[in-house]
Amino acid sequence: MKVKVIALTVLLVIVAFSLGSEIVYAVDEGPQIRVYPPPSRNFPLRIYIEPKDLDLSNHEYFICPSHDRIVQTFYEVERTFLKSLSRFVDEYPEYAILGQVYFINATDRSDADIVLEVVRGINYSRAVVLYGGGVGVEAYRLQIVCWEGERYGDIELFNVIMHEFLHTLGLGHAKQQYTSLGEVEVMRDVISDYITYPTTLDFYGLYQTYFGELSYTENTLVELPSSIRYEMVVPYDIEIEELRLENKNLRHQIDLMATQIDELTRDLKNVTESVKRLDVENRRLADQNKALKERLLDLEDQLTQLKTLKKDLEEQLAQARAEVSRLQEDVKALQALNNKLQLANQNLKDENSLLESQNQVLRRELQQANQAILALSVLTVCLIAITIAVITFRRRG
């Protein structure tokens, strides 16, 4: 049996999907996606989770530290896929048969339609599907590289596993990167910072690959009918949760706005009061201004008067200066005269001094003369007295 499988594998074309693979699409067509034969048309599809991690470079087992994280993310991808699918058939009941697509866990690898295995030895995660193989040949393999489980964030890891999982269900790459609403098409190699759910094109492709009448070639394309809007199929619960969060966010914003309105109302009240105050102040200032204007006019008049006065005073000053100048000359002349008079005076003083000393001499001489006169007078008196006495004496005698 093993030999047979290997021989078959050689005959089959192994299509390993890689990012950016070259596919030629028709131009000017609607949204298109490449499809492959599905792993099985018997539902539910059996998925085997390989518990051992495989090193593809030497085909030996190893232990990947992120094994559990990858497996948990895969289960989340599976659940999300079914929820999106449920919404798709709900919105497009004409494809309700797609609801038959369901999964169970296979307990035996040889019994599985799809095998999930954590690997190393290849650069990126991939899906290995066997074109031309299909039912009962070999499980389609979903190989997630261990390092991606270690390094990718939750969203990126989810998106990668969703992409590869859809490959193992029979989808190739889509022609366009974005839906009509601008959402990232999960079946293209566009990096997205949000969860990428399968699109209506992906589900329509699956519908065609499981229930359509396709004859598969290496480049079988499915085009989305115009009756289906090309968009991401977000599961109801996710959308409801998103709407709930948005609602919550809006409520929060409304609360904030209410607070802001309160604040604005308060501000408005304050501003109104301020306006009133300013109005009063303004009126007061206008009055003051008027008074100041009058005062200014008054001052201007005074200034004019003062200017006239100043002019008069300047003229008077000029006259006074001329007068002073004249007087200064007079003073000079008087000074000269004074000098002369002082000189004359000095001469007179000298003369006077000379006269005084002469006078003093004369006085002394006069004094001496007086004393002499006095002495002579006394002598004369004495002589007279003696004479009288003599005479008297003689008569008696």
Query: CB-wise, 17 or 230, nearer to Zn ion?
Result: 17
Stretch that binds Zn ion, among 13-21, 95-103, 239-247, 333-341 (CB under 5 A): 13-21
Structure tokens, 162: 């969703």
Residue with Cβ nearer Zn ion (16 or 386): 16
Residue closer to Zn ion, measured from CB, 17 or 95: 17
Q: How far is the CB of 61 from Zn ion (least distance, A)?
A: 26
Alpha-carbon torsion (319, 324, 325, 326), positive or negative: positive
Residue 19 CB, shortest distance to Zn ion, in Å, is 6
In angstroms, how far is CA 146 from the centroid of its own chain? 42
Beta pairing, strands 220-223 & 32-35 = antiparallel
Residue nearest to Zn ion (CB): 17
Please, which residues have CB within 8 angstroms of residue 87's CB and are 6 or more apart in sequence?
233, 234, 235, 236
- 335's tokens: 């000074």
- Which range touches Zn ion (CB under 5 A), out of 11-19, 103-111, 266-274, 317-325? 11-19
Give the contacts of 65 (CB within 8 A, at least 6 positions apart). 146, 149, 150
Q: Which is nearer to Zn ion, 17 or 204 (CB)?
A: 17
Does 36 engage in binding with Zn ion (CB under 5 A)? no
Residues 212 and 220: their CA atoms lie apart, in Å, by: 12
3-state secondary structure of 116: strand
Q: Select 17 or 210, whichever has its Cβ closest to Zn ion.
A: 17
Please report whether residue 17 would count as binding Zn ion according to CB under 5 A: yes
Q: Which is nearer to Zn ion, 17 or 81 (CB)?
A: 17
**Shortest Cβ 163–Zn ion spacing (Å):** 5
CA distance 185 to 345: 135
List the one residue out of 187, 184, 148 whose CA is nearest residue 164.
187
From the CB of 169, what's the least distance to Zn ion, in Å? 12
Minimum CB separation of residue 100 from Zn ion in Å reads: 25
Binding site for Zn ion (CB under 5 A): 17
